[in-house]
Amino acid sequence: MSTGAHFVLRHRWWVIAFWLVVLLAGGTAAGQLQSRLSSDFSLPGQEGSETQAQLARSYGVSADLGYLPVLTAPAGRPIDRADVTAVANRLRTIPGVRVLDYGTTGDPGFLTEGGHSTFLLVYGPQPAGFADPLAPTVDRTVKAAARQQGLTAEVTGYNQLSAGSDAGDDGGLSVLGETLIGALGALLVLAFVFASFLALVPLLIAGVSILATFLVVLGLTTFTDVSFVVQFLIALVGLGIAIDYSLLVVSRWREERARGRSNDEAVITAVTTAGHAVLASGITVAISLVALVVVDVPLIRSMGFGGMVIPVISTLVVLTLLPALLSLVGPRVDRPRIRKEAHVSRAWSAWARGVVRHRWAAAAAATAGLALAIVPVFGLQIGQAGSDSLARSGVAHDTLAALGAGGVGSGVLTPMPLLVRSGADASTVAAAARRVPGIRMAVVAPPGRDGVREVVVVPTRETVDNTSVAVVSSVRNATKDLPGYVGVTGRGAIVLDYQRAVFDDFPYVLGLIALVTFVLLVRTFRSLLLPLKAVLLNLVSVAAVFGMITWFWQDGHGSNAVFGIAATGALTFWLPVLIFAFLFGLSMDYEVFILARMREEYDRTGSTAYAVEHGLGRTGRLVTSAALILFFAFAALASAPGTDIKVLATALGAGILLDATVVRALLVPAMVSLFGKYNWWLPAGIARLLRVEPSPLVPDAVLPAGYEADPHPPTQPTADREPLVPEGRP
């Protein structure tokens, strides 16, 4: 680190010029990136996804039901088949629309009890974004056609219910608007931390990091699909990470300046110490996102590639551009010097002393809080929100309720397209599917462009999460051995595919990530116990966050009050793995920041109590401020369109606050204090293997009251020094 810092200072103008060019190129890339991003949720190699692709080739429509119009006859008479056919034919004039109905098929399953109403299954192409541009046309056409036949018509459907539950689905702030809101919140925190114009420097670093990341991701789109979600992550996660890393380095630079070092000496020391923690943290975040890359799902893998770029670029900018700027203009912009860095924070030092004094009580309280937060996670459902968790009022809700009153279950929202090869007997397949318990009807559709036939299987209950998709497996098992069977698709089939593709192997991926992170942290902390504790606490912290969002979103105890969105009933299948990957890495940031400083203080003094007090005294305010900055970024992300992104933002924001308060400010110092001298032990054999200095097990030092460590310690602590005052000696 010291060599790199000297290199940057010797070539500071070249470094600044390089990043200036990247900044300009990144600004251009940001404008081009959105059109290159993908909204593909396919799962190549999985039956549901492959069948969906075949359906699109044969019929030109999505496997998900787009619209569910309901036609109702005047009171006192049943629905007329010819009237239904006339309305359906009008809908068929809309390009890209495909209709299955009672008039064409004559299947009584389309009718409510008494035959007073009927529903139509209307499919359209997959929308490219959040809003469906075809929805208003379908709505106007079906209502106009129904009036001509003397019928009334309303349109419901899963997408219509979702739109009714989230008014933000068609709008929301742009990526730029959200970034500006996050940046404003960050500026307020930085102004409090630095109380000088130095607060603008981390924002400048964040701006360069974000645009540089956009540039790299634009290059990635030429080789692989990148999800549209990545643009939000780059802007807001990138903003928080770059500022957090800058905050740590700049604060250490100020601290060294306050101790009397020259400006360049302070820069080099800051990069050597705080910069080392930043490097370890950036690598840890990037490693955690490997969990996304190795999952064989294009959507999740693209998020992993895009996400990995964020900490890597932020770390690179912070360790190169930031030292160059501090060397050139740092002292000039550090005005007025209202806040000093010469001494540790009295408030955080007092807090640390209190935690050390009452470490058993502190550990017990933190553990109880985490356990309470974890409890709801045992009811976590994976899939998509159920209809009863979407709109509670409005036309779509009332129309579905009317169908229910007529004996038509919510399964009409999630029909299962089942494809049969050309020449095979589709009616035999339909009959087999119809005999499966929980199936309302199975209708053979007209042939597609290549002769493939579709059998539309409608379940009694909707199939949206892991508690309701068993009927999809039953239909597959009942039909897969029949001649001509191609596959089953639809919402329920895709949920099953994601469960197999993502969650079956994810525990092994999680174990691998935890192991690699543990090894990296052993090198960083020169300890066996501290990395083990860090990894285990991170897993516990992430579990607590999943419990919180289960309670908040799935069960609806906070979503309606805060966002006006009803309980989701389940977490969308791609969200848990994304939340885990980002939270595991981001939470580890604060662990690295705090424990790296504690390790440094212990190497100076040999006292665990001193290391906890002064380590937390130096980093407590920084970690809290960094957490607030990331929280503001995620609060801005929560204004993005789409409930799924709101859930992601809520999970990351809550996780960061939980981790920075209960875990890092309470449980970590309590546990370090409890473990005492065993925190710092690294046997010589393992140290040689990892090419770091060993850390022998020695008694804790007992320091005299009022002792202050050497304010100018060597930048590379020695591992073989004896404690200043061994335990048991006066």
List the CATH number of the domain containing 318: 1.20.1640.10
Q: Who wins on pLDDT, 636 or 310?
A: 310
* Predicted local confidence at residue 661, as pLDDT: 86
| Token pair of 404 as six digits | 């229910």
Q: From the centroid of its chain, how far is CA 307?
A: 10
* Predicted local confidence at residue 71, as pLDDT: 94
242-252 pLDDT, tens per residue? Answer: 888 898 898 88
517 vs 529: CA distance, rounded Å: 13
The answer to whether the CB of 234 falls within 8 A of the CB of 210 is yes
Please write down the HEC assignment for all residues of 622-689.
HHHHHHHHHHHHHHHHCCCCCHHHHHHHHHHHHHHHHHHHHHHHHHHHHHHHHHHHHHHCECHHHHHH
27 and 89 housed in the same domain: no
Lowest mean pLDDT among 166-180, 543-557, 560-574: 166-180
* Predicted local confidence at residue 641, as pLDDT: 64
183 and 307 housed in the same domain: yes
182 and 107 housed in the same domain: no
Averaged pLDDT for residues 314-323: 94
199 and 301 housed in the same domain: yes
Domain presence at residue 287:
yes
pLDDT at 259 over 90: no
Averaged pLDDT for residues 669-688: 93
* Predicted local confidence at residue 723, as pLDDT: 41
264 vs 266: CA distance, rounded Å: 5
Domain presence at residue 230:
yes
Domain presence at residue 324:
yes
pLDDT at 380 over 60: yes
The answer to whether the CB of 642 falls within 8 A of the CB of 166 is yes
71-83 pLDDT, tens per residue? Answer: 999 987 889 999 9
202 vs 178: CA distance, rounded Å: 18
654 vs 23: CA distance, rounded Å: 32
Using the 8-state DSSP alphabet, how is residue 714 labeled?
-
pLDDT at 663 over 50: yes
The answer to whether the CB of 491 falls within 8 A of the CB of 464 is yes
* Predicted local confidence at residue 730, as pLDDT: 34
151 and 218 housed in the same domain: no
| Token pair of 7 as six digits | 């290199």
**Residue 93 is part of which domain span?**
66-127+134-156
43 vs 53: CA distance, rounded Å: 10
Averaged pLDDT for residues 699-714: 64
The helix (H) or strand (E) run that includes residue 522 is helix 506-525
Q: How many CB atoms lie within 10 A of CB 93?
A: 9
Lowest mean pLDDT among 135-149, 283-297, 663-677: 283-297
pLDDT at 725 over 70: no
Using the 8-state DSSP alphabet, how is residue 36 labeled?
G
The answer to whether the CB of 327 falls within 8 A of the CB of 9 is yes
pLDDT at 500 over 70: yes
Domain presence at residue 676:
no
* Predicted local confidence at residue 485, as pLDDT: 93
Averaged pLDDT for residues 194-206: 86
Those residues with Cβ within 8 angstroms of residue 10's Cβ, 6 or more apart along the chain or in another chain: none
pLDDT at 376 over 90: yes
User: For residue 309, what are the CA distances in angstroms to 210, 302, 588, 701?
Assistant: 10, 11, 17, 43
Q: How many CB atoms lie within 10 A of CB 477?
A: 10
pLDDT at 390 over 90: no
| Token pair of 94 as six digits | 């809309």
Q: Who wins on pLDDT, 674 or 448?
A: 674
317 vs 19: CA distance, rounded Å: 8
In degrees, to the nearest 5, what angle opens at C-alpha 151 toward C-alphas 148 and 157?
110
* Predicted local confidence at residue 406, as pLDDT: 92
659 vs 359: CA distance, rounded Å: 18
Q: Who wins on pLDDT, 712 or 466?
A: 466
Q: 570, 552, 571, 554: which is closest to 562 by C-alpha?
A: 552
Domain presence at residue 384:
no
* Predicted local confidence at residue 718, as pLDDT: 39
User: For residue 21, what are the CA distances in angstroms to 10, 18, 26, 635, 688?
Assistant: 19, 5, 8, 31, 42
The helix (H) or strand (E) run that includes residue 98 is strand 98-100
Q: 585, 657, 476: which is closest to 48 by C-alpha?
A: 476
* Predicted local confidence at residue 408, as pLDDT: 93
**DSSP letter for each residue of 160-189:** HHHHHH-GGGG----HHHHHHHHHHHHHHH
Number of residues assigned to the chain: 730
CA dihedral 8, 12, 14, 18 (to 10 degrees): 80
pLDDT at 721 over 50: no
pLDDT band per the 50, 70, 90 thresholds, residue 21: very high
Number of helices (H) and strands (E), helices first, in the chain?
Answer: 28, 11
Those residues with Cβ within 8 angstroms of residue 453's Cβ, 6 or more apart along the chain or in another chain: 419, 420, 421, 422, 424, 426, 444, 445, 447
* Predicted local confidence at residue 341, as pLDDT: 61
Domain presence at residue 199:
yes
189 and 239 housed in the same domain: yes
H helices of 34-76, in order, are 47-59
Lowest mean pLDDT among 80-94, 410-424, 708-722: 708-722
Averaged pLDDT for residues 442-469: 89
Lowest mean pLDDT among 192-196, 233-237, 429-433, 715-719: 715-719
Averaged pLDDT for residues 200-214: 90
Averaged pLDDT for residues 220-241: 80
Domain presence at residue 242:
yes
pLDDT at 546 over 90: yes
Q: 413, 469, 461, 454: which is closest to 439 by C-alpha?
A: 461
Residue 677, phi-psi category: left (phi > 0), alpha (psi -120 to 50), beta (remainder): alpha
Last residue of a domain, one of 284, 315, 343: 343
H helices of 555-574, in order, are 559-563
Averaged pLDDT for residues 77-96: 92
Look over the chain and give the mean of its residue pLDDT values, rounded to a whole number: 85
- Counted domains in the chain: 2
516 vs 71: CA distance, rounded Å: 59
* Predicted local confidence at residue 528, as pLDDT: 93
Averaged pLDDT for residues 168-195: 70
Averaged pLDDT for residues 112-127: 88
Q: Say if residue 493 is exposed, middle or buried (CB neighbours under 10 Å; 0-12, 13-18, 19+).
A: buried
122 and 208 housed in the same domain: no
* Predicted local confidence at residue 374, as pLDDT: 95
Beta bridge partners of 412: none
* Predicted local confidence at residue 716, as pLDDT: 41
Q: Amino acid identity, residue 408?
A: V
Question: Hunting for tokens 């630095």 — which residue is that?
Answer: 194
123 and 191 housed in the same domain: no
273 and 185 housed in the same domain: yes
pLDDT at 422 over 90: no
Using the 8-state DSSP alphabet, how is residue 468 labeled?
T
Strand order in the sheet with 117-119: 117-119, 68-72, 152-156
* Predicted local confidence at residue 714, as pLDDT: 43
250 vs 307: CA distance, rounded Å: 25
Last residue of a domain, one of 302, 325, 343: 343
Averaged pLDDT for residues 163-173: 47
**DSSP letter for each residue of 244-307:** HHHHHHHHHHHHHHHTT--HHHHHHHHHHHHHHHHHHHHHHHHHHTHHHHSSS-HHHHHHHHHH
* Predicted local confidence at residue 171, as pLDDT: 45
202 vs 518: CA distance, rounded Å: 29
Q: How many CB atoms lie within 10 A of CB 581?
A: 28
* Predicted local confidence at residue 507, as pLDDT: 82
* Predicted local confidence at residue 154, as pLDDT: 93
User: For residue 375, what are the CA distances in angstroms to 215, 370, 371, 383, 549?
Assistant: 42, 9, 6, 20, 11
222 vs 628: CA distance, rounded Å: 36
Residue 148, domain CATH:
3.30.70.260
198 and 308 housed in the same domain: yes
* Predicted local confidence at residue 720, as pLDDT: 39
Give, to the nearest 10 degrees, the angle between helix 575-605 and helix 608-637.
150
213 and 264 housed in the same domain: yes
330-355 pLDDT, tens per residue? Answer: 888 888 766 666 567 788 889 999 99
pLDDT band per the 50, 70, 90 thresholds, residue 703: confident
574 vs 504: CA distance, rounded Å: 13
18 and 98 housed in the same domain: no
Last residue of a domain, one of 343, 367, 390: 343
* Predicted local confidence at residue 130, as pLDDT: 55
Those residues with Cβ within 8 angstroms of residue 228's Cβ, 6 or more apart along the chain or in another chain: 34, 37, 38, 39, 129
Domain presence at residue 522:
no
